[in-house]
Structure 1
Amino acid sequence: MSRLLTALLLSATVLAGAAAGVSAADLPARHAPVAPPPAVDSWSPWMLRVRALGVVPQESSSLELNGTAIAGDKVSINNTVVPELDITYFFTKNIAVELILGTTPHNIRAAGSIAGLGPIGRTWLLPPTLTLQYHFDINERIKPYVGAGVNYTFFYNTKAKGVFSSLDVENSFGFALQAGVDIMLDRHWGVNLDVKKIFLEPDVKATIPGVGLVTGKVKIDPWLIGGGLTYRF
C-alpha cells in the first residue's frame, strides 16, 4: 500500500513540475486592441461652378406699328460671351437644384422688311435660372446630368439708338432645358460642359419720332453654351 501511495505522490509531483514549466508563449495570446477605421469624409451637398458662357439668341419677332402688323419684320440680336457663376445643391446623390447667375449685354437691330431702320437699341439681360437636375452615377469621374426649370429675365440699362427715341423691354418668365457633364479630376475639382435652352419672349415697345409707336413681342430663345471649372465641397 505504501509503495502505491509513494508512486501516486511521485506522479503528481512530475505532473505539477511539467505544468509549471509551460511558457507564457504556449498560452493563448491576448489580442491587441483593434484601431478604429479611419474617418470617412462627410458628404457635402454643395457644388460651385465658374464658366465662360456663350449666349446665342435664336430671335424672331411679331411687331406692330401704331396697331398695324408689320409684314416681314425681324430683329437681330448679337451673340455674347460672359462669365457665369452657378450654385448647385444636392438633395441626394442624384437629385439637385442649380441656380445660375450672370449678366450679358446685347445690341438689337432691325432686320427683314424693316432693316432700313438700322440699330434699335442696346439692353442688358440678367437671367437667373433655376433648374431641377438628375445626375447619372456612371463612375467616380464622369458625372452627366439633365435638367429642366424656370427662368426670370430682368432687362436693365436699356437705351434706344438710331431713329428710335425710346426703347422698353419688359421683364419676362421663361422655361429652361439643360444637359451637361462634370469630369472630376479629384475629389473636389473638375471641369464642366453645359448647354441650356431658354424659351424667352418679352414684350417690347419703341418710339420713332414723327412715325409712331412700335409694339409687339421679340422671341429671343437663346442657347447658353458654357464651359469652366467645378468645385465640390
Structure 2
Amino acid sequence: MNFSRLALGALALGLATASSVFAAGPWSVRLRATYLETVDQSPAFSALGINFADDAVIVSDKFIPEIDIDYAFNDVLSAELVLTIPQKHRVDLAGVGRLGSFKHLPPTLLLQYHPKVSDTFQPYLGVGVNFTLIFDDNLVVAGVPLALEDYSVGLAAQAGFDVRVNDRWSFNVDVKRAAIRSDVLAGAAKLTTAKLDPWLYAVGMKYDF
C-alpha cells in the first residue's frame, strides 16, 4: 500500500475519532440576548407624610447579555450556570419620580430535564436557585438616603428549546423566572420590599464542545 495513502487514511481516522469524542463531550455554552422584565411589586407604605399604594416602587426593564455554561450528566439531565455582567437599573417611586439606581449581579444555577423528542429539536425544563448581589445603590428621596439589602436568594425556573443547526451549533429560545427581592430601608427602618421577580426572555446560540 502506498505510504501516503496509509498516512492520509490514518489521519482521516484520527480526525473522525476526535470528532466523535468532541461531539460526545458533556460541556456546552449558550450565548443569549436577554430581555429582563421586572414585575415591580411592593406592599403599600407611608413615608414623608404620604401613603404610597401597592406596587409604587418601579425598577427599569432592560436588555442584558447572557452567557451560560452547561454540563450534561447524561442524555436527560444537565446543569446550567447562568451568568451576565453587572447590570445597572433605574428606580422610580410612583408620584415622586426618580429615586436613583443600583447595580446587581444575578448568577443562577439550574438543573435541567431534557425529554427526548428528536435529534434536531430538544426542549428542556429547569429549576434551581438564584443568588443576586446588590451593590452601588444610590437612592434618595427628599434628601433622605435609602438603601437596599446586599443580596437576594430565591428560586428560579426555566423552559426552553434548542434546534440543532449542525454537529456543534443549535439555535436556542429560553424563558426564565427568578425570585429577586430586597427590603427598601431608610436608616434602620424598613419602608417596603421591592419584588423584582423578573421574567427573562432570551434567544441565542448553543455551542457543544
Residue 197 of structure 2 corresponds to 221
**Rg bigger for which structure?**
1
Structure 2 partner of 1:197? 177
Aligned partners of 2:174 and 2:203 also within 8 Å:
yes
Q: How far is 1:62 from its partner?
A: 2.3
TM-superposed CA distance for 1:156, in Å, is: 1.6
TM-score, length-scaled by structure 1: 0.74
Q: What is the Cα deviation at residue 179 of structure 1? A: 0.1
Shift of 1:65: 4.4
Unaligned runs of 5+ in 2: 1-12
Distance 1:164 1:97 in 2: 46
1:159-198 equivalence runs, <5 A: 159-161=138-140, 163-170=142-149, 171-198=151-178
CA distance in 2, matches of 1:206, 1:90: 46
- Answering whether residue 70 of structure 2 is matched by residue 88 of structure 1, we say yes
Displacement after TM superposition at 1:216 (Å)? 2.4
Task: For 1:26-105, list aligned pairs within 5 A.
Answer: 39=17, 41-42=20-21, 43-62=24-43, 64-65=45-46, 70-73=51-54, 74-102=56-84, 103-105=86-88
Query: How far apart are the structure 2 equivalents of 1:86 and 1:150?
Result: 15
Q: Which has the higher strand share?
A: 2
Runs of at least 4 residues of structure 1 off by over 3 A? 63-66, 68-71
Counterparts of 1:161 and 1:218, CA distance in 2: 15
What's the TM-score once normalised by structure 2's chain length?
0.82
Amino acid at match of 1:231: Y
Deviations 1:168-190 (A, max 9, x none): 21111111110001111011011
RMSD: 2.5
Percent identity, aligned pairs only?
33
Count of matched residue positions in the alignment of Structure 1 and Structure 2: 189
